[in-house]
């Protein structure tokens, strides 16, 4: 008996037996290449989840059924052509051979897209009302087009079935075409496709009937819905219970997937994939409410990241399956580690939303802390194998995420590893980030790495400043520098950094400098550091103006994350000003004066404050690198062709059994140039996986 036995009870959806209660729910991966096909990267990403024990993978979030629902600008799966069928067969075979099941979400996105790319279609919605997030206009859909799209759904389902997939999920969530017809805030029609409840349900019902007629009674057909749109003029929880019961009573739906919130505004979008500022499973009650009125299984996925959460939800009967999608992005072997009693070794999602925020920027989905995720096709491993070559002495200098990951991977390879950190604790800039409101869970990245280093027996020396003489005395075979960077305050001498007129966001978040009462933050980076400093200072009751020369504060933060910052900053009356460059800071009596200049007009403004905080990125700490470079056998260089090659191979020939004439020297992360947590971890994994 295991405390997690409830998670491993098989359950049927229609006639399909799912081996456990854990689901990877539909999300847009941005991996479907060659015109929206599920090619090698896509297949290996899902195969890894099946290999790791996932019961059911629902792939292809928002995969399109029609050519006039554009997909190429974010590389979703294209089910509008038969060419997808053999690709699906490869995908199904890869998942099935590991005991998993695989389905796909299918949809027509209606107005929720962009028209200005790919085939340049005219987008459509029930009443021609535009969607705010994508800023795209649309036409009112005509009856002939309605029936054509109904048929497109049926043919897409046929392609999934012929490709060997186990089912399809109809997307009626997040204001796609089906729930655009449902919602009175979008559907203003007075014909048979609108007006009454039955009229608003008609499009979804016709889609369901056509799909079921095409695939037969035994093929799984699910429906993903919102439990509450959270719009005053939208569908509330009671409305959604009525809709769920209506479709349940048709007998044609095999399961419901339920999430909280609509997402056709920036503010509601942040609810859909709750980041670390949200409590655990914040919308579980909505899924439980739907379960109370239907008689088929219910899946719920929103901020369920811990096996104890999942166990409690299943044992409590709130839903039948828990979706742990980001948990599997962080660690696709999540389920296998539970079964092997290795819960402490699970790399747990911290809710940074690096994955989904990249998707909303049209970039491929990656995990902030697991660089192997979706790079399985490149040979990047989730499980590091022991080397069959020489066991080496490896010295890692710098205990931030990149340094810790380098030490972890080298130790997994079987090498003798020493990690040196100048500060009193490991973590690097993660420790600063975790000081900010809403960001404390980011420290989970460090906690996992530290536990792994302890498990692997890495020698850790903190409060130790490394210099050339120390490295020489230790005489490592390999020296990896992850010494990070320092705040770049000296770029403009007129800012007065040398005269201590300004401080960095690091100074504020670390507590090195006390918050002022009237503070101007100048943020050129527009990512997390500046926004976090503003949130931190406002929480300390400072009067804050956040200024940037970019188009808006936080513009570099993704779509599911910047709204949570904006909510907090507006609530605390932080002033946010864009298009202004900080030209000069000078002292006048007991105050500071910040001279700002409009990026476009050149007009200058002054702010009288008692503190100026600057976020201008970092400069690399590279003195030690250049001190060691000349004596290293590789002069600090890396075989970049080998590093970027999809076929795995050592980045240095000396990494195998060959003797090394001198010390190998590498550097990674911010001590090369400013990157981010993911980049540092990626550098470390690809450098050390073949060491």
173-191 residue pLDDT tens: 999 999 999 999 999 999 9
Given a cut of 70, is residue 304 above it in pLDDT? yes
Residue 170 and residue 68: Cα distance in Å, rounded? 17
Residue 518 and residue 265: Cα distance in Å, rounded? 33
Given a cut of 60, is residue 649 above it in pLDDT? no
Average pLDDT, integer, range 526-541: 97
Given a cut of 60, is residue 655 above it in pLDDT? no
Q: Which residue has the tokens 């399809």?
A: 168
Provide the β-strand partners of residue 63. 106
Given a cut of 70, is residue 641 above it in pLDDT? no
Work out the end-to-end distance of the chain between its first and last CA atoms, rounded to an integer number of angstroms: 40
Reported residue count of the chain is 691
Each residue of 241-269: b (16+ CB within 10 Å) or e?
bebbeebbeeebbbbbbbbbbbbbbeebb
What CATH number should be reported for the domain whose range is 5-378? 3.20.20.70
CA distances from 453 to 298, 385, 408, 426, 593 (A): 39, 16, 6, 11, 48
Tokens coding 609: 């404050």
- Range list for CATH 3.20.20.70 in the chain: 5-378
Pair 633, 649: CB distance under 8 Å: no
- Range list for CATH 3.50.50.60 in the chain: 489-616
CA atoms within 13 A on the CB side of 672: 19
Residue 446 and residue 499: Cα distance in Å, rounded? 35
Question: How much is the pLDDT for 360?
Answer: 84
Give the angle subtended at the CA of 509 by the CAs of 431 and 266, to the nearest 5°.
90
Quickly state the pLDDT bin for 264 (edges 50, 70, 90). confident
Average pLDDT, integer, range 627-647: 79
Tokens coding 302: 């929103």
Pair 58, 23: CB distance under 8 Å: yes
305-357 residue pLDDT tens: 999 999 999 999 999 999 999 999 999 999 999 999 999 999 999 999 999 99
Tokens coding 29: 């991966």
> What's CA 436's distance to the chain center, in Å?
20
Question: How much is the pLDDT for 657?
Answer: 46
Pair 18, 55: CB distance under 8 Å: yes
Given a cut of 60, is residue 671 above it in pLDDT? yes
Helix, strand, coil fractions of the chain, as percent rounded to 5: 35, 20, 45
DSSP letter at 33? B
Sign of CA dihedral 260, 261, 264, 269: negative
Closest CA relative to residue 284, chosen from 261, 267, 301: 301
Torsion of CA 516, 422, 404, 392, to 10 degrees: 170
603-631 residue pLDDT tens: 999 999 999 999 999 999 999 999 999 99
Residue 273 and residue 260: Cα distance in Å, rounded? 9
Average pLDDT, integer, range 248-275: 93
Question: How much is the pLDDT for 643?
Answer: 61
As a whole number, the mean pLDDT across the chain is: 94
Residue 267 and residue 571: Cα distance in Å, rounded? 14
Q: What is the pTM of this model?
A: 0.95
466-490 residue pLDDT tens: 999 999 999 999 999 999 999 999 9
Pair 482, 489: CB distance under 8 Å: no
Tokens coding 520: 């101007």
Pair 674, 485: CB distance under 8 Å: yes
Provide the β-strand partners of residue 612. 520
Residue 481 and residue 666: Cα distance in Å, rounded? 6
Interhelix angle 40-51/84-96, nearest 10 degrees: 20
SS3 at position 280: coil
501 exposure class (CB count in 10 Å sphere: 0-12, 13-18, 19+)? buried
Quickly state the pLDDT bin for 30 (edges 50, 70, 90). very high
Tokens coding 350: 């911290």
Pair 319, 343: CB distance under 8 Å: no
Given a cut of 90, is residue 70 above it in pLDDT? no
- For the domain made up of 489-616, give the CATH fold: FAD/NAD(P)-binding domain (3.50.50)
Counting residues of the chain whose pLDDT is more than 70, the rounded percentage is 97
Strand residue runs (E) in 527-633: 543-547, 575-577, 580-588, 591-598, 604-609, 611-615, 618-620
192-244 residue pLDDT tens: 999 999 999 999 999 999 999 999 999 999 999 999 999 999 999 999 999 99
Provide the β-strand partners of residue 460. 419
Residue 101 and residue 94: Cα distance in Å, rounded? 10
Provide the β-strand partners of residue 480. 396, 666
Average pLDDT, integer, range 446-457: 98
DSSP letter at 78? B
CA distances from 292 to 239, 244, 560 (A): 14, 10, 30
Structure-model confidence comparison of residues 147 and 119, the more confident one: 147
| Of 19-33, 82-96, 117-131, 268-282, minimum mean pLDDT range | 117-131
Question: How much is the pLDDT for 654?
Answer: 44
Pair 654, 572: CB distance under 8 Å: no
146-165 residue pLDDT tens: 999 999 999 999 999 999 99
Tokens coding 583: 């030209």
Query: Quick one: three-class SS letters along 100-162?
Result: CEEEEEEECCCCCCCCCCCCCCCCEECCCCCECCCCECCEECCHHHHHHHHHHHHHHHHHHHH
Tokens coding 597: 């200049």
Pair 436, 509: CB distance under 8 Å: yes
SS3 at position 419: strand
Look at domain 393-486+620-688 and name its CATH class: alpha beta
Residue 176 and residue 112: Cα distance in Å, rounded? 6
Given a cut of 90, is residue 120 above it in pLDDT? no
61 exposure class (CB count in 10 Å sphere: 0-12, 13-18, 19+)? buried
Residue 503 and residue 506: Cα distance in Å, rounded? 8
């Amino acid at each position: 008996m295991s405390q997690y036995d409830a998670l491993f009870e098989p359950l049927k959806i229609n006639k399909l037996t799912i081996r456990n209660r854990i689901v990877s729910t539909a999300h847009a991966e941005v991996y479907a290449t060659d015109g929206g096909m599920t090619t090698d990267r896509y297949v290996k990403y899902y195969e890894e989840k099946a290999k790791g024990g996932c019961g059911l993978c629902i792939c292809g979030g928002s995969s399109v059924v029609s050519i006039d629902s554009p997909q190429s600008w974010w590389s979703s799966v294209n089910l509008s052509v038969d060419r997808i069928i053999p690709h699906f067969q490869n995908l199904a075979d890869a998942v099935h051979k590991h005991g998993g099941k695989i389905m796909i979400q299918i949809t027509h996105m209606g107005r929720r897209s962009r028209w200005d790319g790919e085939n340049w279609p005219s987008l459509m919605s029930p009443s021609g009302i535009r969607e705010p997030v994508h800023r795209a206009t649309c036409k009112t859909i005509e009856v002939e087009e309605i029936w054509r799209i109904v048929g497109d759904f049926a043919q897409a389902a046929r392609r999934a079935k012929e490709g060997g997939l186990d089912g399809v999920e109809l997307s009626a969530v997040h204001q796609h075409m089906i729930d655009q017809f449902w919602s009175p805030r979008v559907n203003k029609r007075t014909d048979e496709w609108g007006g009454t409840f039955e009229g608003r349900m008609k499009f979804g019902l016709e889609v369901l009937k056509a799909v079921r007629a095409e695939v037969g009674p035994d093929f799984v057909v699910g429906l993903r819905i919102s439990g509450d749109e959270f719009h005053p003029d939208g569908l509330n929880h009671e409305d959604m219970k009525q809709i769920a019961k209506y479709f349940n009573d048709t007998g044609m739906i095999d399961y419901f997937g339920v999430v909280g919130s609509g997402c056709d505004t920036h503010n509601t979008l942040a609810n859909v994939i709750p980041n670390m500022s949200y409590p655990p499973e914040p919308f579980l009650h909505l899924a439980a409410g739907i379960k109370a009125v239907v008689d088929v299984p219910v899946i719920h996925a929103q901020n369920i990241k811990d096996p104890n959460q999942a166990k409690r939800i299943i044992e409590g009967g709130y839903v039948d399956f828990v979706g742990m999608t980001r948990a599997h992005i962080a660690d696709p072997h999540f389920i296998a580690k539970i079964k092997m009693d290795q819960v402490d070794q699970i790399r747990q999602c911290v809710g940074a939303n690096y994955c989904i925020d990249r998707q909303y920027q049209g970039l491929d989905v990656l995990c902030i802390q697991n660089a192997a995720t979706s790079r399985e096709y490149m040979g990047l491993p989730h499980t590091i194998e022991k080397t069959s070559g020489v066991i080496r002495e490896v010295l890692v200098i710098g205990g931030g995420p990149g340094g810790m990951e380098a030490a972890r991977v080298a130790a997994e390879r079987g090498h003798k590893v020493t990690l040196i950190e100048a500060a009193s604790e490991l973590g690097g800039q993660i420790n600063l980030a975790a000081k900010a409101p809403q960001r404390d869970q980011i420290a989970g990245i460090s906690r996992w790495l530290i536990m792994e280093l302890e498990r692997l027996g890495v020698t850790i020396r903190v409060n130790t400043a490394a210099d050339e003489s120390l490295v020489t005395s230790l005489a490592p075979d390999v020296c990896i520098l992850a010494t990070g960077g320092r705040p770049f305050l000296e770029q403009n001498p007129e800012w007065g950094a040398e005269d201590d007129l300004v401080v960095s966001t690091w100074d504020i978040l670390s507590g090195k400098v006390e918050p002022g009462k009237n503070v101007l933050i100048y943020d050129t980076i527009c990512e997390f550091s500046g926004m976090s400093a503003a949130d931190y200072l406002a929480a300390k009751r400072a009067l804050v103006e956040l200024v940037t020369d970019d188009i808006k504060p936080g513009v570099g933060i993704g779509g599911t994350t910047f709204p949570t910052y904006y909510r907090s900053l507006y609530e605390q009356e932080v002033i946010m000003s864009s298009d202004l460059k900080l030209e000069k800071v000078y002292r006048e009596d007991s105050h500071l004066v910040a001279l700002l200049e409009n990026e476009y007009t050149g007009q200058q403004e002054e702010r009288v404050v008692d503190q100026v905080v600057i976020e201008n990125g970092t400069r690399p700490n590279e003195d030690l690198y250049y001190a060691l470079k000349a004596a290293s056998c590789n002069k600090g260089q890396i075989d970049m062709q080998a590093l970027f090659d999809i076929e795995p191979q050592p980045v240095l020939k000396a990494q195998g059994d060959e003797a090394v004439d001198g010390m190998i020297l590498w550097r990674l992360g911010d001590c090369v140039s400013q990157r981010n947590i993911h980049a540092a971890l990626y550098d470390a994994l690809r450098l050390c996986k073949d060491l």
